[in-house]
Structure 1
Amino acid sequence: MKARIPAMRPGLLPAAILTALLPVAASAQAQDAADGATTLDRISVTGSRIRGVQIENQQPILTVSRQDIERSGHTSVADLLQNIPSAGSPAISRADALASGENVGGYYIDIRNMGANRTLVLLNGVRLGATTGGYQDLSQIPMSAIERIDVLKDGASSIYGSDAIAAVVNVITRKRFEGAEASVQYGQFGQGDGAETTYSGTVGVANDRSGITVSAEVMEADPVYGGDRFFSRYGNAGPDYPGSGWSAVSQAGSWQNAAGEWVTLREGGNPTNAADYVVLTPAGYANSNEQMLVSTGMKRESVFSNINYDLTDRITLNADILFNKRTTNQQIAGYPYQSLAFDTPLSGDSAFNPVGEDIEFRRRLWEVPRTTRSELKTTRFSGGVSGFFDIADKPWDWDVNYAYNRNEVTKTGHGDASLLATAQALGPSYIDAAGIAQCGVAGVSDPSLAGCRPWNPLLPYGVAGQGSLANADVQDFLFPYYTDTGETKTKILSANLSGSLFELPAGDLSMAVGIEHRKDEGRFVPDAFAQSGNYTGLAASTTLGEYEVDEAYIEFNVPILSDMAFARELTVNVASRYSDYSNFGDTINSKFSVLWRPTDAMAVRGTWAEGFRAPSIDNLYGGTGASFEQYTDPCSVGVPGSVNGNAACNAAGVPVGYVQLGQGLEPCTAWPCQTPDQFISGSNPNLGPETSESITAGIVYSPEFVDGLDVSVDWYRYEIENMIISDSVNRILRDCYVIGDSSRCAGVVRAGDGHISNMFYGLTNLGSMKTEGWDIGLKYRMLDTAFGGFQFNWQTTYTSKYETAAQNAAGEDIMVGQVGDPGIFRVKSNFNVNWSINDDWNVGWTARYYSGINDGCVANRPCSDSDRYAYGETAPRNQLGSNTFHDFQVAYTAPWNATISVGVDNVFEREAQIMYSGGNVSTAFPYYPEFDIGRFTYMRYVQRF
């Protein structure tokens, strides 16, 4: 972080912007009147603030055109971008049904696998609003409104500020559209599920001075259930090992008898007769995947409008207005209720108790799956005035803009039990004179039990009887609806000026300068039950905070050589941005890029850039959250480096010979092992910004001897320091019990049996990341032949390095390579062939290739590399093969100005290999947003008027 420099007060910045530019506007109007100037086409590009500069040649930029959008079957921007080779696997997607919190339901893009909140998303050059966690939702932009999408695969904090570490995605919308266009698309998987329906329309009027374009879209997608796919039907075990790894917390219900056995009611047995219970075997375990989703359902309704008007030939008024409503529906299996975890045994005085004394039980709440309905409303306005003028015959552009973005989120949850209600429903109860079970003690009036309904957790799913969880009254009493609410606001005021300073021998020296003031504020308020912890869901608390930032930047584009031997062009571009945050201070980030054209057919380019990501509102002011963590307890026997029996473990009350307990309080057999209890994590108001450095270098070649051929090769390297991460559970346990740092033990709570029942760990700037690789592109446009025109496009990303800071079994902090780990493919490649026939027919074929995955080894499952040793410890793995998915589309342009398209994604219904260590949603399939879960067939009709 650089030394702090006094910054302009936020309240003065807007006035300063207007004061600086009003004379410019007045001067331009006067010049119009005097000269009768005509409007010129001012070209704006992504990656530079200098209009008209061909920055796409200096930096690696991928453009997705309107034609590319129409030739795909995708119905959202994120789905479209997810298939580009440089895109990674975002942590939150429709494939992640287990995710919870404010961000769930959004569509995010993660370039280079560096995190979705490290890719900045712009809409017409202005950043989108973000959640309190810093995530920018691409689903709010209707596809029908988009003209093109630019993806700058490079750091650009010097131009755009925070979050532009890995890349910048700039969505450019259609403007001055004339006429009308309506379309409908329907598709579904070959299994008959996952149907998607999209209705969209665009209408516009335009003339020489103004234009209004309005696009509206309604998209609805049905969910896909885990029980309807081969890879998820049986959980991680896969179809070859059904039943293996299923949960002992079964929907049949079980309780622990005096012999320590977990017993369940036999078929046809009497639930109040202890003799009718038999030992629960794995055959009766729960397969939670029967109730899981592998793809969530959603509905999106959006309207986008662009209005622009030429006030004069040199001044234009422009405004974007967006409204979006997104509803997402998630479902996961009923909660695995364990009475010991909540101190709610079935009372010995319960009418359903078979032994007459308090008993501990387990019961998956199968009758009421956990569901979450997330509704997000987005209101956005972005508008401003832009223009241009001449100084000494040199053109200058200016603009003043204001943007306002508001996100309102409401999440309604159901299926988590109220612990206040379960304590009553499991307490004393009796059968009244009418034969109806009642809460309390017979003959004793207790007003606090009004509305209480007794629950019999030992009654298996599907078995009728008093206290059944299938009873509507019991469900209404135990399962309230929970509502979380949130709101984020972003306000941006900016001003920019760019133009040519003077002429050098090789061309004009151009510059851009600008200032910006931004205010982000947000809150997310979980339901009162979540805040109090009085329910079976994950505990959470309120996130509330805001910050402001004042920024100023300057950029120069300097031509050095031109029209010389071996130097048709040599240009450098330098930029620097100063950012002053109200929460952590200030920072300066710079960038340098160079373009050298030795010949007209070849360009050599390179960039060096600094970047940063400011901590989000959630990072700084978030409350606490809960999760079930995977960890290795060094006080357990059987783990590498066990210290069971040492002074620190003994002082914590860990028995000698203790074996770490996992889900269901069963002894772990493999590590890391998942805790049976929620661990708590929290924010840190003292966090600083993440910092990064990126370098790219590449060649673009269009040989004159092959007309229509373009080849590009770019090398990239990124390093992130001070990365914001959660303090590692394993790191805390190592420091506490292995190293003996007692100060690190304060957040660790152990139960009487020795297992960790609660733990707190917060955020810290201790992380780091390094990634390196190559982007290779080849495009060929074949001249028209007797068979039509052909276009070939082959894009590949090769990741040679991807490392993050982690700890090995010895507790050493090291950089661990993850290339080939789930989601981080060494090679991602797309090959597309497009065939156009007489401008009426268009046929497209795309092959999407993903290299193999390294799966963790699991006992009694295939393990191809069992003797592997890496980073100071044994690291066996099972290597899974590569996958290629093929997509096909044929489109016909009808004489009545319509286009009819039929397409199939995953034509050959490719099924990826089984992943026994767990892919997504506890399934045996390495399912990421880019992997297909079946053959998807769609039809689209577009009518133009």
Structure 2
Amino acid sequence: MAVQAQQNDSSTDSKQATKLEAVEVTGSRIKGADMATQVPILTITSDDIRKSGLTSIGDILQQLTSSGAGLNTKFNSAGNFGFPPDGSGVGSGSATLDLRNLGAKRVLILVDGIRWVNESSASGVSAAVDLNTIPTGIIDRIEILQDGASALYGSDAIAGVVNIITKHTQKGGAASVYYGDYGNLAGGSTHNADLSFGGQGDRYEFFVDFNYVKQNSISSSAWGRSSDECVPGTGLANCSSATPTGRFMFTDPLTGQYMNITPNGTFNGKPAYPGDFHKFTTADRFDFAPYNMLLTPSERSAVFAQTRYKITDQVTWYVRGLYNTRKSTNQAAPEPIFLGPGAGTGGLADTVGVDATNPYNPFGFSLNADPNTGNLVMIGRRPVEGGPRIYRQDVDTSYFATGLQGSFGVGQHDYYWDVNFASGDNKATQDVRGTYNIAHIQRALGPVANCTDSCVPLNVFGGPGTITPAMLNYILYREHDRSDNKIKLWTANISGELFDLPTGPLSFAAGGEHRRYDGSYEPDAVVVAGESNGVPSLPISGHYSVNEYYVELDAPLLKDLTAVKALELSAAMRYSDYSTFGNTTNGKVGLRWQVFDDLTLRGTWSQGFRAPTIGELYGAPARFDATLQDPCSSPLANPALASKCAALGVPGNYAQPNPQISVRTGGNRKLDPETARNLTVGAVYSPGWAENTPWSSKLDFNLGYYRIKLDKAIQAPDAQTQLDRCVDSGDPNSTFCTGIHRNATGNIDGFNNTLQNLGRIKTNGFDFGIDWRGPQTNIGQFTANLQNTYVAEYKATDSNGNQEPRTVGIEVNDSAIPRLTSMLDIGWNHGPWTVDYKVRYFSRLRENCAAAAGFPICNHPDEIAPNRPDGTHYLGATTYHDVRASWKLPIQLDLTLTAGVNNLFDRKPPICLSCSLNGYDAATYDLPSRFAYVQADLKF
């Protein structure tokens, strides 16, 4: 990355001449050449982006060795499980970045040094940026600061800062077309087209870009693991009890016998009871897996324009704008209908039974849903007649920024200033098909005398195909949801040199910022009324503002001494005043010691914070359908456990009817900001003996240590851990049982999992990198870059000091923390040819066997730990190989052709038992297929 040093010309005219190109490096507000080595920064250039073979910045950044479990389009969770207990919403079709495994909401995303608007997918008010709103064609480079920076940038900059720097201009026009395909799977083809042009004159420059990306879907049915079993290696055991035939659990009032039955098949009329029914078994369960998606479809179109104009030699005006639109889709199996107190939804469905007068009721008596006096436990029926659930999102992102940048000189010192305004808006609508109105279902199953006007009596007993179009028309409805995220900000900054010290100038930066955030989520009116059979939620609306002021200093302490080529001390402080919780002040100190020309040591200590977001503060109650194992589900071989369950009011014959337990989540206006302490120490060694030699042109070594302590972490307790601890206590009044309610059947019908300042997260580890560039030879030039992240510790504890299950080397719910992640990139170029070979490595993981306990897939059943109480399943180490080659044609046109294959050897991701869908961790691993692509780039 090129930086411009200070000029030595001492004339007044020269000192006051324009120097607007002076670089501000991410991680410091001070413009200057030396600041680039003050902080640990990774840089991804536009060439690196092209070499990746990927069309999403989110996917590219998720390949960083320090990246954690970020959302991407390999997730297909919209509506399947509801609203995650982190206040963020589902985020369908988005791509986010997680650094240091601390979550996407603890990474600050900047574009040209200014905050970007948070994502919106009509499912809540998110705290993270959707990187798919930023097209790859506009990017000049990306700077990733792997350090805390709240003292410079304010909230969110705990795990790091990503600054996406856009192109200001280019010479002439450029066009690019791209096609990629997953050859081992049906579907998933990707098309990308980019057209840009730019220019510059004496006083102006401009850049305009048009970008289009279309990614087609891949069905889960295209891969055996994601279609054959709901949890790998367990057959139908963990599949749904809501079947097209139906499952009925009740006590027969005539015989007093408990029934758990399903029809023997499909019946045109009523099935005869009990002869046409049999006991429900695992073999009757419904495999919902093939109805989902391995890759969700997405279509994005964007236009970006930027211009800069020199008003005077010292003042430049800029303006830039972007409009991006996304159409994305998620799909799930036909929506199950669970009725009765055993459904455990906590809503209207728990109260719905079947009246004796329903014309399709084969039993001759009512199924009464009262948990205390009724005979019904649960009805499970999956109306495949209504088709799969389809969630379609339309997301429009607009962003506008303008400002002035300038410089001036006073005496021997130069000063740089800027004032900026930016406004971002992310609006989304979601259309949902294949969902049902539970109030209409209640009426259609109730007394037939009340089923009048448009009501059509419902048949849930006859098996698949017996729900007629007329019945469907009455119980189906079309859901429409909306959400919006907005940001407006004003900033002003100045930097320069205050005065000269014996060892050099004392540099400074100072500035202020005002931001306002607005967010809202409006679910469909049927959802708000509590009449939806899908996931319930309520409207959200909120806003807050913040005023901030900061100062940064950089002082040279020593210079040109033995073992001290240069020693510099930097410090920063930022004051933030929020309309929601008050004010906070955060500081940062750093030391840079250049031992000699080849070796530089550096370290920083900083305070950080993250303010509660709109979703976290104002999020209304919503539901998350967590897949949980109830420890009190019979049979119970342990008498002590049986005693504890009895103390919690669980009947001795209780069997968990449904693996999904409805968990109530939502915001909390009493939340405090998160606080953090960051320590980074590092070394950069660029040996002179490796420069301009027969084997090396340049060689750099980078070693860094990081330690982050996060307090008052805003999150919800892990639901499975909370349930396990509640049962282990055997005390319904214990802290762990607070919010967990069981009805008279023993089924959990209430589980409060709202956000709180849960406790502490501690993590530390090492980054190590080698960058080598060989000399130019007759056979070309070779390059190699190796990056590694080693996570030594990751520990999360609640407010009582109890450790949460997520830690190093463990896979938990689509969120892995490999001990070691590595990436090696080897390059060769010779004339018009360029070849790159990349190797990506993830060390092995372990996870709790959970629902797979007792099956052979649980390959270490005797390895028990607090976070693996059901035995241990190992996920083997995984290595991917990517190759790419490009050729600039020897013709008059400036045309380059490229071809590449990612996952060259078709490595399949390791089996994951705790992952939500498709049997693998989509945040960590590639899809189970090679991905081949071709690209043509033309400049004119």
TM-score (norm 1): 0.87
Structure 1 gaps of 5+ residues are 1-30, 429-439, 665-673
Amino acid across the alignment from 1:169: V
Asked if 2 retains the 8 angstrom alpha-carbon contact of 1:632 and 1:639, the reply is no
1:786 maps to 778
Amino acid in the other structure paired with 1:89? A
Whether 2:933 is the aligned partner of 1:944: answer: no
Residue 633 of structure 2 contacts residue 656 of structure 2 at CA under 8 Å; is this kept in 1? no
How much does 1:632 deviate? 6.9
- Which amino acid is the alignment partner of residue 420 of structure 2? N
* Residue in structure 2 matched with residue 232 of structure 1 by the alignment: 226
Deviations along 1:525-563, whole A, 9 cap, x unmatched? 111222222111111111111111111000011112223
Give the Cα separation in 2 of the matches to 1:796 and 1:754: 49
After TM superposition, give the deviation of residue 473 of structure 1 in Å: 3.6
- 2:508 matched to 1:511? yes
CA pair 732-548 structure 1, distance change in 2 beyond 3 A:
farther
Q: Which residue of 2 aligns with 1:109?
A: 97
1:334, distance to aligned residue in structure 2 (A): 1.6
Q: Determine the C-alpha separation between the residues in 2 that align with 1:864 and 1:290.
A: 25
Q: Distance in 1 between matches of 2:614 and 2:921?
A: 32
Of the candidates 402, 427, 438, which is equivalent to residue 421 of structure 2? Answer: 402
| Residue of structure 2 aligned with 1:208, choices 199, 202, 206 | 202
Greater CA drift, 548-557 or 344-353: 344-353
Provide the residue aligned with 1:222 in structure 2. 216
- Whether the 8 Å CA contact 2:230–2:236 is kept in 1: the answer is no
Contact (CA 8 Å) 1:297, 1:328: kept in 2 or not? yes
Q: Which residue of 1 aligns with 2:170?
A: 177
Amino acid at match of 2:714: I
CA distance in 2, matches of 1:589, 1:95: 36
Aligned partner of 1:932 in structure 2 is 927
Per mean C-alpha deviation after superposition, the further-off stretch among 630-639 and 594-603 is 630-639
Identity over aligned pairs, percent: 31
225-234 vs 400-409, greater mean Cα deviation: 225-234
Match of 2:846 among 843, 848, 854: 854
Question: How much has 1:478 moved relative to structure 2?
Answer: 1.6
Alignment of 1:48-127 (within 5 A): 48-90=28-70, 93-97=73-77, 98=80, 100=82, 101=89, 103-127=91-115
After TM superposition, give the deviation of residue 944 of structure 1 in Å: 1.1
**1:32 Cα offset (Å):** 11
Indicate the larger mover: 927-936 or 181-190. Answer: 927-936
SS of equivalent residue, structure 1 residue 139: helix
After TM superposition, give the deviation of residue 750 of structure 1 in Å.
2.6
Q: 1:844 aligns with which of 814, 831, 836?
A: 836
Secondary structure of 1:316's counterpart equals strand
- TM superposition shift of 1:67: 0.9
857, 873, 878: which is aligned to 1:878? 873
Q: Give the match's secondary structure for 1:94.
A: coil
Matches within 5 A, 1:386-401: 386-401=405-420
Structure 2 distance, partners of 1:305, 1:872, is 51
Counterparts in 2 of 1:267 and 1:454: CA distance versus 1, 3 Å: same
Counterpart-to-counterpart distance in 1, 2:142 and 2:867: 44
Could you tell me whether the CA contact under 8 Å between 2:268 and 2:462 is conserved in 1?
no
Amino acid at match of 1:918: S
Q: 1:328 to 1:149 in 2, by over 3 A?
A: same
Q: For residues 559-580 of structure 1, what are the alpha-carbon distances to aligned partners after superposition, in whole Å with 9 as ceiling and x for unaligned? A: 1222332111211211110101
> Which residue of 651, 674, 677 maps to 1:693?
677
Name the residue aligned to 1:8: none
Contact 1:93 1:108 in 2 (8 A): no
* Whole-Å separation in 1 of the counterparts to 2:69 and 2:734: 39
- C-alpha separation in 2, matches of 1:177 and 1:872: 54
1:721 corresponds to which letter in structure 2? Answer: D
Letter in structure 2 aligned against 1:291: Y
Shift of 1:292: 1.0
Q: Is the contact made by 1:635 and 1:645 (CA closer than 8 Å) also made in structure 2?
A: no
Do 2:265 and 2:463's aligned partners in 1 also have CA atoms closer than 8 Å? no
Task: Please report how far the alpha carbon of residue 815 of structure 1 lies from its aligned counterpart in structure 2 after TM superposition.
Answer: 6.2
Cα drift, residue 739 of structure 1: 5.5
Tell me the distance in 2 between the aligned counterparts of 1:320 and 1:314. 20
Aligned partner of residue 480 in structure 1, secondary structure: strand
Q: Is 1:130 aligned to residue 118 of structure 2?
A: yes
Q: Which amino acid aligns with 1:108?
A: T
What residue number does 1:273 align with?
A: 271
Secondary structure of 2:776's counterpart equals strand
In structure 2, the CA distance between the partners of 1:309 and 1:92, relative to structure 1 (3 Å rule), is same
Give the C-alpha shift of residue 250 in structure 1.
Answer: 1.4
Other-structure match for 1:19: none
Change (3 A) 1:226 1:735: closer
Task: Identify if the C-alpha distance between structure 1 residues 851 and 727 changes in structure 2 by more than 3 Å, giving closer, same or farther.
Answer: closer
Judged with a 3 Å threshold, the aligned counterparts in structure 2 of structure 1 residues 504 and 641 are, in CA distance, closer, same or farther, namely: farther
1:460 is matched with 463
For the 8 Å contact 2:267–2:462, the answer to whether it is kept is no
1:629 matched to 2:629? The reply is no
1:277–1:888 distance in 2 versus 1, CA, 3 Å: same
Which range moved further: 47-56 or 353-362? Answer: 353-362
Alpha-carbon distance in 1 for matches of 2:650, 2:870: 28
For 2:915, give the aligned amino acid.
Answer: G
Post-superposition offset of 1:53: 4.3
- Write out per-residue CA displacement over residues 591-620 of structure 1, whole angstroms, 9 at most, x where no aligned residue: 111111111111111111111000001111
Structure 2 residue aligned with 1:918: 914
Deviation at 1:175, TM superposition (A): 0.4
TM-score (norm 2): 0.88
Mark the CA change 1:330 to 1:641 in structure 2 (over 3 Å): closer, same or farther.
Answer: farther
> For the Cα contact (< 8 Å) 1:748–1:759, is it kept in 2?
yes
**AA in 1 matched with 2:30:** I
Partner-residue secondary structure (3-state), 1:937: strand
CA gap of 1:817–1:519, structure 2 versus 1, over 3 A, is closer
Contact 2:722 2:736 in 1 (8 A): no
Give the corresponding residue for 1:821: 810
Match of 2:157 among 164, 185, 188: 164
Measured after TM superposition, the shift of residue 460 of structure 1 is 2.9
After superposition, the Cα gap between the structure-2 partners of 1:926 and 1:137, relative to the gap in structure 1 and judged at 3 Å, is: closer
Q: Aligned equivalents of 1:284 and 1:875: distance in 2?
A: 25
Question: CA 1:757–1:532 in structure 2 vs 1: closer, same or farther (change >3 Å)?
Answer: same
**AA of the residue aligned to 1:779:** D
Question: 1:487, CA displacement in angstroms?
Answer: 1.6
Separation in structure 2 between the aligned mates of residue 592 and residue 388 of structure 1, nearest angstrom: 27
Structure 2 distance, partners of 1:305, 1:642, is 68
Q: Does 1:684 align with 2:668?
A: yes
Change (3 A) 1:38 1:692: closer
Superposed displacement of residue 691, structure 1: 0.3
Alignment partner, residue 551 of structure 1: 548
Q: Kindly provide the CA deviation profile for residues 872-906 of structure 1, in whole angstroms up to 9, marking residues without a partner as x.
A: 99573122210101111111112310111111111
**Deviation by residue 1:261-316 (Cα, 9 ceiling, x = unmatched):** 44444356554131333444433321110101122111111111111100001000
Q: Quick one: which of 330, 348, 358 aligns to 1:350?
A: 358
Q: One-letter code of the match for 1:199?
A: A
Q: In 1, distance between residues paired with 2:383 and 2:12?
A: 74
| CA-to-aligned-CA distance 1:712-745 (integer Å, 9 cap, x gap) | 1111111100111225656589679645648987
* Counterpart among 571, 585, 594 of residue 597 in structure 1: 594
Corresponding residue of 1:154: 147
Counterpart AA for 2:277: Y
Task: After TM superposition, give the deviation of residue 663 of structure 1 in Å.
Answer: 4.1
Quote the Cα distance in structure 2 between the aligned partners of 1:640 and 1:684: 38
Aligned to 1:904: 901
| Shift in CA distance, 639/141, structure 1 to aligned 2, threshold 3 Å | farther
Q: Which moved further from structure 2: 857-866 or 477-486?
A: 857-866
Residue identity opposite 2:135 in structure 1? P
Three-state SS of the structure 1 residue aligned to 2:754 is: strand
1:307 alignment partner in structure 2: 307
Give the conservation status (yes or no) of the 8 Å contact 2:848–2:868: no
The verdict on how the C-alpha distance between 1:224 and 1:391 changes in structure 2, with shifts beyond 3 A counting, is same
Deviations 1:178-220 (A, max 9, x none): 2111111111111231111111111113212112211111111
For 1:727-738, list aligned pairs within 5 A.
727=717, 731=722, 738=730
What SS does the corresponding residue of 1:54 show, helix, strand or coil? helix
